[in-house]
Amino acid sequence: MPVFNKILVANRGEIAVRIIRACRELGISTVAVFSQADRAALHVRLADEAYEIGPAPAAESYLRIEKILDVARKSGAQAIHPGYGFLSENAAFAAACAQAGIKFIGPTGAAMEKMGSKTRARQAMQSAGIPFVPGSTRGLTREEAVRVAAEVGYPIMLKAAAGGGGKGMRLVRDARELASSYDAASSEALRAFGNGEVYLERLIERPRHIEIQVLADEHGHCVHLGERECSLQRRHQKVVEEAPSAIVDSDLRRRLGETAVRVAQAAGYTNAGTIEFLVDAQRDFYFLEMNTRLQVEHPVTELVTGFDLVQLQIHIAAGGELPFSQQDIQLRGHAIECRIYAEDPENNFFPSPGSITRLLAPSGPGIREDTGVYQGWNVPLEYDPLLSKLVAWAPTRELAIARLQRALDEYFIGGIRSNIALFRRILADAGFRRADFDTGYLDRMLAAAESSTPDAESSLVAALAAAVFAANGSNGAARSPMVPVPDSGWKKIAREESLRES
C-alpha cells in the first residue's frame, strides 16, 4: 500500500487548517499554497512548506490547475487534498492529478463527472431506481421548461445543472413567472459556473433537508455514517447543521443510509461523499444531489461517530480498506454546528472584510472550533467570508444547545462584523428548540423580524419604561431606575473596540 510522506493542500481558510492538522497527527508533511492576499494566513503559518501561486482573485490563484500541480512537483508532494470549494469538484483537476502521477484525495474524475452535474446525476438515479423529485432529467430550453412545468405541476424550482449554494435557483409559483425566472436562473448559473444549463423539479412544500455521509474505499466496501440535519438555510445556503436529525428514527435512518450507499455504488464512487435528500411531511424522501467532496459540516458527523473523516479520506486514497463495517458504526450524543461568517446581518448580510483587532474564542466542555483566522489577521474581500465553524457536542440535543449558547456568549470578534448574534437568536427560537422547522423556516423567521415596525418597537419600549417607573416609583420616593451591575470583562472589551473604531 502506498504511503504519503507529503500532501499538498489545495485550499485556504479553516478547511486548509483542518487538513494540515489531520496530516500532522498522521506524521505527514504538508504543503500550503497561497495567493498574495493570503501570505500571512493561518494555513500558511501552520504548513511545513508554503508557495505563492498568484494574485488575490481565485481565478488567478486557487483555481489555476497548472500552478498547483507545478508546486506539487517542485515540493515532492505525492497527493493533493482539495478541501471543499475551489477545485474540489472539478473533474478536470482530478484527471490532471492522475495524469501527473499525483493522488487526488477524493473520487475519480469519472465519478465526479457523473454526479457533479445535477442532470446527469438524476439520469443515473433514474437508471438505478433511486427515488428523486419529479421533474426533468436534462437541461431545458425556455420553451421546453414551459411544457415540462405544465406536466409536473406548479409550483416548481428552476435549478442550475452545474450549480450549488443556491446560485441559479428560482422558485416559480405559476406560468406567468416562468419566462423571466428561467432567464434569471440561466444567466446567474452562467456567471457562477460557466454553464447556463437549467432543469426543473416540482417544489416539495416545507421539506426537511437531510444528508447522509458515505465512505467508500477502492476495494468495493461502502458504508454510511448516519445523517445530518441541514434544513436551517438562508436563501438556500446552510447556516446551522446538526447530527443526528430529530425527525429521523432508526428505520428511516436505515432506509436513507441504504439508499445513499446504492447511490454511491451506482456512481462507482470512492472516498468521502454526501448524498442529499429532501424529506416531506409524510417522511417520504427523494434524492436531491450528491456532493463529491468533504462537506463544510463534516465535524458534526465526526463528533457523533468518533471518526476523523479527513484521516479516513487519506487512508482510502493511500489504498487502504475501510477499517470498520456498517455494524461497527454507532451514533453517540448530539452535535450542532454554526457557520461563523464575516458578514453583517443588519446590512443584508454584506461581507465585512477588515482587520480582526480582538479575538476571544470559546472553549470548555463539548466545544470545538475549526478556524482559519487569528487576532491581527486581515479578512480579505476576495473569498468566501467563512471565519470558523463553532460546534458543540453533548449527550442530548438540549444540552448541546445549551453548550452552544454558552460558547456563543464567550465568542468575541472585534474590528469586523460577524453573524454571531444571529445564532443566539436561532438557538433561543422556540421552533428551533422543538426541532420544528423546514428549509424555509429561517427565511420566514428573518422576514418576520424585518417586518416589525418602529411603532411597535417604540410601543414596547414605552410599555417597559412605564412598568419600570411604576415599580420603582410606587411609594413616591425617588429611586434609581436600575440596580447597578458590575461590569463584565466582555462588555469592557466591546467598549474598547467601539472606541478604537470611532
**Mean pLDDT of residues grouped by 10 in the chain (502 residues)?**
86 98 98 98 98 97 97 98 95 97 97 88 90 93 96 96 84 96 95 91 95 98 98 94 98 98 95 97 93 97 98 98 97 98 94 97 98 98 96 98 98 98 97 97 91 51 42 38 41 49 42
> At 124, is the secondary structure helix, strand, or coil?
helix
What is the pLDDT, as a whole number, of residue 468? Answer: 41
> At 236, is the secondary structure helix, strand, or coil?
coil
Rounded Cα gap, residues 18 and 12, in angstroms = 10
What is the pLDDT, as a whole number, of residue 452? Answer: 66
What is the pLDDT, as a whole number, of residue 394? Answer: 98
Q: Which CATH code for domain 6-105?
A: 3.40.50.20
In which region does residue 333 sit, left (phi positive, over 0), alpha (psi from -120 to 50) or beta (all else)?
left
Provide the terminal-to-terminal Cα distance of the chain, rounded to the nearest Å.
60
Catalytic status, residue 293 = yes
Q: Give yes or no for a contact between 481 and 465, defined as CB atoms under 8 angstroms apart.
A: no
Grid coordinates in use for 406?
454558552
Q: Give yes or no for a contact between 114 and 124, defined as CB atoms under 8 angstroms apart.
A: yes
Rounded Cα gap, residues 264 and 258, in angstroms = 10
pTM for the full model?
0.87
What is the pLDDT, as a whole number, of residue 450? Answer: 80
Residue type present at position 439: T
| CATH-assigned architecture of domain 134-202 | 2-Layer Sandwich (3.30)
Rounded Cα gap, residues 396 and 427, in angstroms = 15
> At 144, is the secondary structure helix, strand, or coil?
helix
Of 274, 408, 291, 276, nearest to 338 (Cα)? 408
Residue 474: other Cβ atoms inside 10 A: 9
* Domain ranges across the chain: 6-105, 134-202, 208-448
Q: Which of 122, 170, 253, 293 is catalytic?
A: 293
Helix-helix angle 250-266:118-128, to 10 degrees = 110
> At 333, is the secondary structure helix, strand, or coil?
coil
- The residues, ordered by sequence, that sit 6+ positions from 402 with a Cβ below 8 Å of its Cβ are 394
Residue 8 phi, psi dihedral angles, 5° rounding: -90, 135
In which region does residue 254 sit, left (phi positive, over 0), alpha (psi from -120 to 50) or beta (all else)?
alpha
**Beta-bridge partner residues of 181:** none
Q: Does 134-202 match 6-105 at the fold level?
A: no
Q: Give yes or no for a contact between 385 and 378, defined as CB atoms under 8 angstroms apart.
A: no
Helix-helix angle 441-450:420-428, to 10 degrees = 100
Of 371, 343, 361, nearest to 409 (Cα)? 361
Rounded Cα gap, residues 229 and 438, in angstroms = 10
Pick the CATH number of 208-448 from 3.40.50.720, 1.10.10.10, 3.30.470.20, 3.40.50.620: 3.30.470.20
In which region does residue 338 sit, left (phi positive, over 0), alpha (psi from -120 to 50) or beta (all else)?
beta
Q: Give yes or no for a contact between 386 and 17, defined as CB atoms under 8 angstroms apart.
A: no
Pairing of strands 358-360, 237-243: unpaired
281 alpha carbon, distance to own chain's centre: 24
